[in-house]
Amino acid sequence: MAADVLLVHGLWMHDIAMRWLATRLRAQGFAPGGFGYYSLLQDSDAVVSRLAGVLASRPGMHVVAHSLGGLLTLRAITRLGTAHAGRVVCLGSPLAGSAAAEAIATRGALGLLLVGSSRDLLQSGIGRVPAGVEVGAVAGCVPRGLGGLLARFDGEHDGTVAVAETRLPMLADHIVVPASHSGLLFSGQAVRQAGCFLRNGHFERAVGPAAV
């Protein structure tokens, strides 16, 4: 069965990190497939080009992307053009730029190594949502993660990305669930909301209290 949902992982991860999410989406009737890359070793522009090629080969394919993966996906769609794009769900993606990434990058050579070639993209975000594509953002609000030790957040955050950093004008929908940044990959609420958006173009509004 051809994949109708492409899963794109984030920084410091590989596509194996998306397997639980893939299993849960499959149970909802989707056919997920993975897109892997080396987030610290590969040039982000090269990753965007390869991702654009995958999306071009499967017009209308949806994407569920975590963290940096959401920025790479939207850059790829901007490059490719929205005619090929399905719906996109960003899980904890710092669309408006990441204060934590900026704080880590200022920690000398080790900090630069930890953010890799994606430093500029993580710090600046994507600027705007590409016109003509439906993008939904799921943010976490359980403050558990490395970013909270290095960056100062105003308002709710998931331990790595502030809720405010996941918002941009022209998002089709935005919702906050009780999960940490990495916990978004293992959150029943996050995956249910992702499935709802892929089917309907909007999120559900009844969200329970279980934290991840």
pLDDT digits (tens, 9 = 90+) for 30-70: 999 999 998 877 889 999 999 999 999 999 999 999 999 99
What's the confidence (pLDDT) of residue 1? Answer: 43
Widest CA span in the chain: 47
> In 3-state terms, what secondary structure has residue 157?
strand
**Structural contact between residues 157 and 148, judged by C-beta atoms closer than 8 angstroms:** yes
Helices (H), the chain: 19-27, 44-57, 68-80, 99-105, 108-115, 119-124, 147-150, 188-200
Fold of 5-200: Rossmann fold (3.40.50)
Instruction: Out of 12-21, 148-157, 162-171, give the one with best mean pLDDT.
Output: 162-171
Nearest 5°: CA angle at 167, between 71 and 176? 105
More confident residue, 191 or 146: 191
Q: Report whether pLDDT(73) > 70.
A: yes
The predicted pLDDT at position 118 comes to: 75
pLDDT > 90 fraction of the chain, expressed in percent and rounded: 64
Do residues 184 and 140 lie in contact, with contact meaning Cβ atoms separated by under 8 Å?
A: yes
pLDDT bin (cut points 50, 70, 90) of residue 158 is very high
pLDDT in tens, 100-123: 877 776 665 655 556 667 778 888
**Looking at residue 26, what is its pLDDT?**
96
8 Å CB contact between 129 and 74: yes
pLDDT at 109: 62
Q: Does 154 have pLDDT greater than 60?
A: yes
Percent helix / strand / coil, the chain, rounded to 5? 45, 15, 40
pLDDT-based confidence at residue 205 (cuts at 50, 70, 90): confident
